[in-house]
Amino acid sequence: MAEVLLFHHALGLTEGVVAFADELRRAGHTVHVPDLYEGRTFDDLEAGGAYAQEIGFGVLTERGERAAEALPAELVYAGFSLGVLPAQKLAQSRAGAQGALLLSACVTEGAFGHDWPEGLPVQVHAMEQDPFFVDDGDLEAARELVADAEGRELFLYPGSAHLFAERGAPSFVPEATDVCVERVLGFLAGLKA
């Protein structure tokens, strides 16, 4: 079974993020979900995004790195939207990474000053018309990341919701989430122990 470090999105550590983590736990995986917002949650992306900017993306990424320090090196790094920043940075820079799961976001491979590690598997999941993912360059970054590389996959789902896997939110898309979870569980089950 895999050990996963899952980072939340701009709404904070919501019940939807915990529900996603619990699905992975029910399959036998160990999932750690640190609270980068230190208890704050938001009902809409604009307010949550403003709070993230107030704290600073660098500070949030550092909080994610600190959360990883107390855990084994052999982790799968996962993140939703804003949480992709620490997840992707750790996957690219921390020795021992087992894989990465990037949901609703992807940054350019060179953003953290490290190439993607040779042989490190990754899945990127997003909606094909999500304006944040498409218009902000994440789709292009994801396509470059997975291009011609074994073990790197991009999954695009029909629709435009950004936080499509956020149970309980208006943006929740059950059908896409079910397929996403199935693919994530397959990814985790296929990792080398």
pLDDT < 70 stretches in the chain: 193
pLDDT at 2: 96
Rg over alpha carbons for the chain, rounded to the nearest Å, is: 15
Q: What domain range is 13 assigned to?
A: 3-189
Distance, CA of 5 to CA of 152 (rounded, Å): 19
Instruction: Give the integer Cα–Cα distance in Å for 48 and 52.
Output: 6
Q: What CATH number should be reported for the domain holding residue 164?
A: 3.40.50.1820
Please choose, from the candidates 125, 124, 121, 92, the residue with its C-alpha nearest in 3D space to the C-alpha of residue 190.
121
- Decide: 63 and 36 in contact? Cβ < 8 Å: yes
CB atoms within 10 A of CB 7: 31
Please report the pLDDT score of residue 193 as a whole number.
56
pLDDT of residue 78: 98
Distances (CA, A) of 95 to 140, 142, 180: 26, 22, 27
Structural domains in the chain (count): 1
Predicted local confidence at residue 114, as pLDDT: 86
Query: Given this model, what pLDDT does residue 148 score?
Result: 81
Say how far apart CA 45 and CA 33 lie, in whole Å: 19
E-assigned strand segments in the chain? 3-7, 30-32, 76-80, 99-103, 122-127, 152-157
